[in-house]
Amino acid sequence: MSNAADPVAWVRRRLGYEPAQPALFIQALTHRSAAGDNNERLEFLGDAVLNLLLAEYLYRRFTEADEGTLSRLRSSLVSGEALARVAARIQLGEVLALGAGELKTGGFRRESILADALEALFGALYLDGGLELARRVALELMEPALAGLDELAELKDPKTLLQEWLQARGLALPRYQVEGVEGESHAQHFRVSCEVPALTQRTWGEGSSRRRAEQSAAAALLARVNP
């Protein structure tokens, strides 16, 4: 483990829950690099649970929002970066079981590992205590992010703004193309182009995900055509 903290005691202290099946939570907090059952299957389940709970929350809270806005808001909550921030805040890395290699390279601080472990934790919560328990914990842990959604809901991302600008002028939608991907799987860097042939305009953007790179490229093109 990254330290000697007891994962079950951590669940009691941090989440205010007494596990009926402690082994589930030990598994949820065991990375694939460590010995024993790892958290990949629970991560798969927890991802679906968290997406469902947050989709329901957003649906009920933002009654006038369209599908695109709801999807954008949910993406902002369940991105690897956002989940890693939650995991870091509750010091989840302290109780992660990691192999020697990951320990040596600081895996308990790595964004992808923290985000995956948080999803696995929600898988364990769902199996052990049901959907209501998972909902309570999700809303508590995500509260800081949920509090800032009103302002975010009013903002449109660059891709949406560019699309609306083009549609208002009867022009075809932009074409996005991945021009390059660098780095290891857990720390990739994308370079993407955005092209509007009718305007003979093409821009490029970069980011830690394809989506971010596309947003960056769209923002650059929008700045050109609508300064």
Kindly list the catalytic residues.
47, 119
Dist. CA 210–CA 215, nearest whole Å: 9
- Alpha carbon 62 to its chain centroid, in Å, reads 20
Residue 53 to residues 92, 149, 150, 214, 215, Cα–Cα distance (Å): 21, 16, 18, 27, 26
Length of the chain: 227
DSSP per-residue codes, 198-209: GGTEEEEEEESS
Helix (H, G, I), strand (E, B) or coil at 195: strand
Among residues 189, 174, 169, 181, the alpha carbon closest in space to that of 219 is found at 174
